Amino acid sequence: MHRVLMTGAAGGIGRALRETLRGVYPVLRLSDRVPLAPARDGEEVDVTELADMGAVRRMVEGVDAIIHLGGVSAENTWESILQSNIVGIFNLFEAAREAGVRRIVFATSNHAVGFYPRKERIDHRVVPRPDSRYGVSKAFGEALGSLYSDKHGIGVFLIRIGNFGEKPIDKRRLSIWISPRDLGELIRIGIEHPDIRYEIVYGVSGNARSWYDNANAHRLGYRPQDDSEPYAEAVLAAEAGAPQDAIAEYYQGGTFCAAEYTAKTRRD
């Protein structure tokens, strides 16, 4: 892969990956809707609104692979989600098809499956159970990736990211945390593994408390180096005695499930 495009490069994950991937590929094209720090050697900087198809076509010109982090990264209004996460990802996949892009790594989310109970350990084969409008947009992106893989032969690698950071900061994140170096490894597998056609993996470190069976990632060579357990004692002590929401604590999606929740009975 000579030129790799990363959308959403101004976000927290994007800024970290900019450093992790610097020099790994000959050219790293960095794009966001907001201005970025100036390009360094081996970098190209681009400002593009994903809902603008003409701009997206220009953004993907000459690209071999795409890391798609762009879009709204949390729950929001339907109109905002629609334009950034649904229209935006369609534009990206269609422009990539037209440009002959060979590989797309899409940062989907645990919120695409957030309404699974925490007592249930799930793998990559479960059907989506989104917990929010944001989660619906990620499930849409997963389905769109399947279409473009089957119909057009693009290699699509979907990472259902749990929570990215230097360390987990609450009890829920003890189960879903991923460290920067572990996510960097998954990204490189998605770009470089020769046999990717359409794969779903979970973007989590090797957490002892994980809710996910990540065997599909391990099959492709993922060997996480980090685990949330060394942080568990301090995290749990800090939360001791804090009030808890019954819905947020029951489902994997946490507060995304509890927000706007009006169901009379709970679905397992």
Q: What are 173-219's pLDDT values in tens digits?
A: 999 999 999 999 999 999 999 999 999 999 999 999 999 999 999 99
**Is residue 41, in this structure, part of any structural domain at all?**
yes
**Is residue 264, in this structure, part of any structural domain at all?**
no
Tally the domains of the chain.
1
- Helix axes 12-20 and 180-192, enclosed angle (nearest 10): 70
The answer to whether 4 touches 27, Cβ cutoff 8 Å, is yes
Q: What are 115-137's pLDDT values in tens digits?
A: 999 999 999 999 999 999 999 99
Confidence of residue 66 (pLDDT cuts 50, 70, 90): very high
At 4 the pLDDT is: 98
Confidence of residue 160 (pLDDT cuts 50, 70, 90): very high
Place of tokens 């534009």: 91
Q: How does DSSP classify residue 123?
A: -
Mean pLDDT, the chain, as a whole number?
A: 97
Structural domain for 240, as ranges: 3-258
Supply the CATH number for residue 211's domain: 3.40.50.720
At 198 the pLDDT is: 98
Tell me, yes or no, if the pTM score tops 0.95. Answer: yes
- Among the listed residues 108, 135, 131, 76, the one whose alpha carbon sits nearest the alpha carbon of residue 250: 131
Task: Catalogue the active-site residues.
Answer: 134
What length does the chain have?
268
CB-count exposure of residue 125 (10 Å: 0-12, 13-18, 19+): exposed
At 204 the pLDDT is: 98
Place of tokens 């959403």: 8
Sequence-separated (6 or more) residues with CB below 8 Å from residue 42: 22, 23, 25, 26, 27, 28
The answer to whether 175 touches 145, Cβ cutoff 8 Å, is no
Q: Report the percent of the chain where pLDDT is more than 90.
A: 99
Could you tell me whether strands 163-164 and 65-68 are parallel, antiparallel, or unpaired per DSSP bridges?
unpaired
